[in-house]
Homo-oligomer: A and B are copies of this chain.
Amino acid sequence: MNIGQAAKISGLTIKTVRYYDNIGLVMAYQDPENQYRVYSKDDIAKLQFIGRARRFGFSIQECRELLSLYQDKNRPSREVKELTLEKLSKIDNKLDELKNLRKQLYRLSKSCSGDDRPDCPILDALASEN
C-alpha cells in the first residue's frame, strides 16, 4: 500500500506519515524500483495507534514508548499505566496554570470599560510594577 492510501486509512496527512518514517517511528519498506514507501497492515495499525495516542496528548517520544510497550506482549500493564498517570499529572498542571491565567485576565478585562475613552486599566496593569 502506498503512502497516500496509508495516510487516508490512518487519518494522518501524507506529510506526517513521511515525517514518522524519517524519524524512525513507523518505517516503511521502500520499493527498490521507484523508491516509493510501501505500508503493510501492521504499519497501518501502528500509524492508527500513534494517531490515537497523539490525539490523547502523548508526545512523539511518549508514542515511541507506548508503541514499544504495545509490541512487547509480556510487559506488565503497570508501565503503561505509569506513563498515562504521568501524562495526566502534566495535564493537571497545565490546567491549573491556564485557570489562574484565565482568572487574572478575566479580572483585567472586567476592570476596563472598553469604550472610546483612552483610559485602560489593562494597559495600566501591564505597565505598572504590581
Does A104 lie within 8 Å of B49, measured CB to CB?
Answer: no
Main secondary structure of the interface of A (DSSP, over half): helix
Copies of this chain per assembly = 2
CA distance A46 to B98 in the complex (A): 25
Which positions in A face B, CB cutoff 8 Å? 45, 48-49, 52-53, 56-57, 66, 69-70, 73-78, 80-82, 84-85, 87-88, 91-92, 94-95, 98-99, 101-102, 104-106, 108-109, 112-120, 122-123, 125-127
CB neighbours of A87 from chain B (8 A): 105
18 pairs of residues in contact across A and B, judged by CB atoms under 8 Å: A45-B127, A56-B104, A56-B108, A57-B105, A69-B123, A77-B118, A78-B114, A80-B120, A80-B122, A81-B109, A81-B112, A81-B114, A84-B105, A88-B105, A88-B106, A88-B109, A91-B101, A94-B98
